[in-house]
Amino acid sequence: MKNIRRISIALGLLGLLYLLFAPTPLDPVAWQPPAAPEWVGPWQSNQALKQCRLIDLPGDAYAPESIAIDGETLVMSSHDGTLWQWKNGQFTQRTQMEGHPLGVEAAPNGLWIADATLGLVQLVDNTPNIRSQASESGPHRFVDDLAIADSGTVYFSDASRKHWPSSVRSNPLKLSAFDILEGRGHGRLYAYQPLSGELTLLVDDLLFANGVALSREEDFVLINETGRYRVLRHWIRGDKAGSTEVFIDNLPGYPDNITEAPDGGFWLALIKPRNTMSDVLAPYPFVRKMVSRLPFSWLPTGDQYGHVVKLSSDGDVLASLQDPEAATTDITSAIEHEGKLYLGSLSAPHFSVCDLSQILPSHQSAVP
């Protein structure tokens, strides 16, 4: 018994020494998040998303993180780099990427892809063409999402210049968790000019820069700051051009992607609800550094919960559509087309189709 006790004490001391002194790439900084909102008022819990239809991806494909509307065809990414087309209930393969596509956007000059390992990619005759290469020494390392203006300018997020995917085997969720746990803010928003190749830094020091969307008038661009539970607005035209302000703050979950709605508002996907432990640990960088040494599955990353938010063009909450049972789990994107809302996911083997006339009876899809 004495030997067992001694071994247990020794193992406990070794574990403590590991948590205190093992090497870690994280250098956390203290910050104080606002108190999480209650599930009342605009955030009142509901089951609206349970009415959505689940469409299985072909074979063993999963993680349709981003969905784009290309004419009458849906185009979506998947876990292995395949871009799938879905039309008339049938899937066909559009192309195979060698990287990790996270964001997909249709434009008059073809599809554009935000690829975590390759960078900013344009699909020309279904062949990937890297337009702005991601690299350790380059201006960006972790391209996450994008939005394209009528002028052709591509606005895209660089999620983190420190915690970035060095290969296609890198786990974006793990990298985002590390970046948020560190709390320093390594994300950026860029504007890229396809004709000249000019790259302009618009916003810096974001705590995991994520979804990007343009306003209908294209006078501002929205950028989701996942680790701060908020969406920022960067003005690109008008009297406020060049300035950045909060569009909506203190969200009840981690914002992932955001898209413009036909009525000029926006659809915002909350991939997970806020984690109480993450908020509690935010002011204590030393403790968070210890936590970073734990296995990834032990890190506070949030529960499974389906949640999509409709915002006005001024950032007001118009609708909060939820699924507490998370039939579509880890919702990363929501895009509206002809009265339907299509939901992407970081981990599900399907995407969701929601009839807005059923889950949001007062909804009007038409644009005057």
Mean pLDDT score, 255-282: 96
Q: What is the pLDDT of residue 368?
A: 36
Position of tokens 């089951």? 47
Residue 3 burial (10 A CB sphere; 0-12, 13-18, 19+): exposed
Q: Which residues contact 336 (CB under 8 A, 6 or more apart)?
A: 259, 261, 262, 267, 342, 356, 365
- Does residue 11 surpass a pLDDT of 60? no
Q: Quick one: CATH architecture of 44-359?
A: 6 Propeller (2.120)
Mean pLDDT score, 135-157: 93
Is 342 within 8 Å of 335 (Cβ atoms)?
yes
Is 209 within 8 Å of 179 (Cβ atoms)?
no
- Does residue 15 surpass a pLDDT of 50? yes
pTM for the complete prediction?
A: 0.93
Q: What is the pLDDT of residue 60?
A: 95
Q: What is the pLDDT of residue 366?
A: 42
Name the pLDDT band for 301 (thresholds 50, 70, 90).
confident
Residue 339 burial (10 A CB sphere; 0-12, 13-18, 19+): middle
Helix (H) or strand (E) holding 17: helix 2-21
Q: 60-93: per-residue pLDDT in tens? A: 999 999 999 999 999 999 999 999 999 999 999 9
What six digits make up the tokens of 333? Answer: 């994107």
